[in-house]
Structure 1
């Protein structure tokens, strides 16, 4: 749920752009596209009353919850509603339940909650819901159906944490040894999933993951646990939340053994200091401010009568290491000392995904006082995209923000650009050249989510076997290749037959022909890996009249939303291209101003959009 508050800005274009196929969006065209691309999960559209909304997080102390509240209060101020931060002083189920009961007794109309103990709090939330109160989850859900949930994909982020530790250990020549895990408790949904993902990363390795110990999210208790692990000779320790991570870093610091790899979760000043001082390798930084903002917007819209169908939104995560602790995801202030010339080169200039990405970039360019030229080809073509890169270099552009159509194909041109001093930033899909930063969806995790959604729908219909078709763009584009890999992983061990992938070049008409061919072969489901593939898949199912075929896709457009609402597609994985564009410009400016971003990779999140 990202509010579309972006104003449009005309961008400069190279004279050669129209000759080479590199286009530049005109303001009127951008405005029209903006209207068409308006999010179905955007800001409230009706007149807003002064609703009373309670925000109840696990505690009121951790910086994570303080930042979440700041985002919530910002949205409340914009919308003219009241949000009361009613969280306990410590992580305690009984206190959190009392906060819920107080909200009900106080006449609050909605409760935004991060459940400490999902089982413990569910009874109180059910009573609140039965009384007509709208429930929205942030960070950690309970077991009662809610209007919507805004959280990190915690299992995927936990796996990322594990992979970071594994890489660091292997780089140090350590291929076996004991690993400690400091968690909050055995009940909190978010941290349990982080641990599960972390453990998954170590499957098939020679490392021994020790029994998890619980510190209740308290830094001092967690430090004692981590110190005990250290006496047992661990080579690495994972902290599952802010307090656990702080305690882990402090224990490593106290031991003087900086050879122990500490990896954590959440971001605070204490954690950043421990990373910069070398006592922690990295932390998985969430976006609690977005959770808070989006939670308030969802609560208000629900109070206005809108329904979300239990929508779950991934609010993204960034890996923060020494060198990028100012957070390449853009949480720090950015100042441009001159009107930098930045080229934005996406895969094409037509898909709504790229139009929306450009809108985010132009809004940020206007805010910073820099020039961003949208120089993308009219169609997905490697040769045209390479020519756009060469034109940007020849035109004196100082940075290039690029979504690589063919990572191998474009890398040589990008390497030449970088060698001349041009700063490279990736959005959506990276190439094979080192860049300042990357802003994209965790495509493999999102692809698996798409697969899980299809399996759930098929099993609900009593279908436990059958053929599944996959319509992809090509065999090279990094983002869509990873989506397919994630989708396929969801079906491992199932009774379905995943057919050979067919490629439609992201073109809706070509993709429809492919999907129609799959349908003649009796498929029970089809997955489209991008906007054009998804549109083509939905159109094929519509033309066949076989609405029992489960169509699942990727990206969002008016055409896709219409196909979902008309019952020809089950759902689509909606990215946040506006955020990619906005953060890409910020990163480019920071790099041009001399900052080192360390190649940071930021997950900009994804939402599962279904029929309203």
Structure 2
């Protein structure tokens, strides 16, 4: 694939999870150490990072890059964003190879495939580059750390918390999911079902139906209509899929159920903004990709500087986000999903 031209960013308050070419001070061994992040980054050069999202021009990754740039400025790091026009693993390999050849200290990658880029990552690591995945992981053995946006347990718990708040802790609810065999969706639903059965705080809530829109807009729209017809006492809908929640909101917006049936789940600010602004949806969740890029950048710097090795139990500071601990398999979790509502949704563009 033809390489897309690189965008070198000034280190401003918002940053991309990026990797930068290092400008080293001095010469000889010090220059080499600085370029690779060796000796804790004490070679006298600027910390260099390269950010490799799944693809460029994606508003979600533009936001994560902005967070990375914010972190890079605080760290005094140089940062460069590179990437393909379309999200494919083959297209990412050439950027990984280039970063290794340039001797950057750290590479931050949202992987388009769990294994296809592993050989290239291994070569980069052999050249002294620390590799951190974010948003989308490789196999654990391929990278040094994975910065995960949220745990399945956290995603499930947040959706239940939101619907309970919006229906006053009591009433019938339903779930509008993606496909019946969607692994992540099913895991969240199982966790929500278990929590509803075991948590006394949800004793007044009854899950009456689970339907599937197959991540198709029209089918999800139709399933929302069917839920309301089949369950006239329905108080709320959880849709843990960005396609489903938007389709359900569109149906509710022009129905008599607007303001009567609560809707929450997982969505993006750009798709959900009109429904929040007109009161169809009170609040929904996802995660803040800006914070994700910010954390990934601090984690990469901690590896380069020798503050952590990526072993379970390692701890490091991540600026305004505070202290984080490396968990099993080299995973660092950002935290609970981020809640979007009328007060903050205008602050985001993805």
Query: Is this a same-fold pair by TM over 0.5?
Result: yes
Q: Which has the larger radius of gyration?
A: 1
TM class, shorter-length: 0.5 to 0.7
Contact 2:237 2:263 in 1 (8 A): yes
Inter-partner Cα distance in structure 1 for 2:172 and 2:116: 41
- Against the structure 1 CA distance between its residues 239 and 206, is the aligned structure 2 distance closer, same or farther, given a 3 Å change threshold? closer
State the SS of the aligned residue for 2:140. Answer: coil
Aligned to 2:23: none
Q: How many residues align?
A: 268
- 1:249 aligned partner: 249
How far residue 280 of structure 1 moved from its aligned partner, in angstroms, is 2.4
Distance, in Å, in 1 between the alignment partners of 2:74 and 2:241 is 33
The change in CA–CA distance for 1:59 and 1:157 in structure 2 (over 3 A counts) is farther
Shift of the 116–271 alpha-carbon distance from structure 1 to 2, 3 Å rule, reads farther
> Cα distance 1:70–1:195, how it changes in 2: closer, same or farther (>3 A)?
farther
Q: State the partner residue of 1:155.
A: 152
Change (3 A) 1:132 1:257: farther
TM-superposed CA distance for 1:244, in Å, is 5.9
Displacement of 1:285 = 4.6
* Conserved 8 A contact 2:49-2:108: yes
Matches within 5 A, 1:123-202: 124-126=120-122, 128-130=124-126, 132-145=128-141, 146-164=143-161, 166-167=163-164, 171=168, 174-175=171-172, 178-182=174-178, 186=182, 192=184, 196-202=187-193
Structure 1 position 196, deviation (Å): 2.2
Contact 1:72/1:292, CA 8 A, preserved across alignment:
yes
Give the whole-Å Cα distance in 1 for the aligned partners of 2:125 and 2:177. 36
Change (3 A) 1:98 1:159: same
Distance 1:120 1:103, change over 3 A: closer
- 1:226 pairs, out of 188, 207, 220, with 220
Give the 3-state SS of the residue equivalent to 1:249 in structure 2: helix
| CA displacement at 1:276 relative to structure 2 | 3.0
Cα displacement string for residues 490-529 of structure 1 (whole angstroms, at most 9, x for unaligned residues): xxxxxxxxxxxxxxxxxxxxxxxxxxxxxxxxxxxxxxxx
CA distance in 2, matches of 1:238, 1:181: 6
- Cross-structure match for 2:263: 262
Q: Could you say what secondary structure the match of 1:175 adopts?
A: strand
- Aligned partners of 1:321 and 1:123: how far apart in 2? 39
Q: Deviations over 1:374-402 (max 9, x none)?
A: xxxxxxxxxxxxxxxxxxxxxxxxxxxxx
Task: Give yes or no for contact 2:177–2:241 (8 Å, CA) kept in 1.
Answer: yes
Which ranges of structure 2 fall in alignment gaps of 5 or more residues?
A: 1-39, 198-205, 229-235, 313-325
1:103 to 96, 99, 105: 96
Contact 1:161/1:263 (CA < 8 Å) preserved in 2? no
Deviation of the 1:68 alpha carbon: 1.3
Determine if contact 2:269/2:345 at 8 Å carries over to the other structure.
no
Q: Secondary structure of 1:156's match?
A: helix
Provide the secondary structure at the position in 2 that maps to 1:229.
helix
C-alpha distance in 2, partners of 1:81/1:116? Answer: 26
Structure 2 residue matching 1:202: 3-state secondary structure: helix
SS of 2:263's partner is strand
In 2, Cα distance between the equivalents of 1:211 and 1:298? Answer: 38
Match of 1:271 in 2: 272
Distance 1:123 1:210 in 2: 41
Contact 1:155 1:196 in 2 (8 A): yes
- Give unpaired runs (5+ residues) of structure 1: 1-43, 215-221, 333-612
Tell me if the contact between 1:55 and 1:86 (Cα under 8 Å) persists in the aligned partners: yes
1:24-77 deviation per Cα after TM superposition (whole angstroms, max 9, x unaligned): xxxxxxxxxxxxxxxxxxxx7745634543322344455442221011122333
How has the CA–CA distance of structure 1 residues 268 and 170 changed in structure 2, closer, same or farther, with 3 Å as cutoff?
closer
Give the distance between the partners of 2:248 and 2:118, measured in 1 at CA: 31
The answer on whether the counterparts of 2:159 and 2:285 sit within 8 Å (CA) in structure 1 is no
Cα distance in 2 for residues equivalent to 1:154 and 1:147: 19
Matched, 1:309 2:311: yes
- Counterpart of 1:70? 66
Residue in structure 2 matched with residue 546 of structure 1 by the alignment = none
Distance 1:46 1:201 in 2: 48
Given that residues 246 and 267 in structure 2 are in contact (C-alpha distance below 8 angstroms), is that contact kept between their aligned partners in structure 1?
no
Q: What TM-score, normalized by structure 2, do the two folds share?
A: 0.60
Pairing partner for 1:49 from 27, 45, 48: 45
CA deviations 1:86-111 (Å, max 9, x no partner) are 34555x4xx24412332313535332
Distance 2:276 2:341 in 1: 6
Scaled by the length of structure 1, the TM-score of the pair is: 0.37
| Residue pairs, 1:210-225, within 5 angstroms | 210-211=211-212, 213-214=214-215, 223-225=217-219
Structure 1 residue ranges, 4+ long, deviating more than 6 angstroms after superposition: none
CA contact (8 A) 1:180 1:211 kept: yes
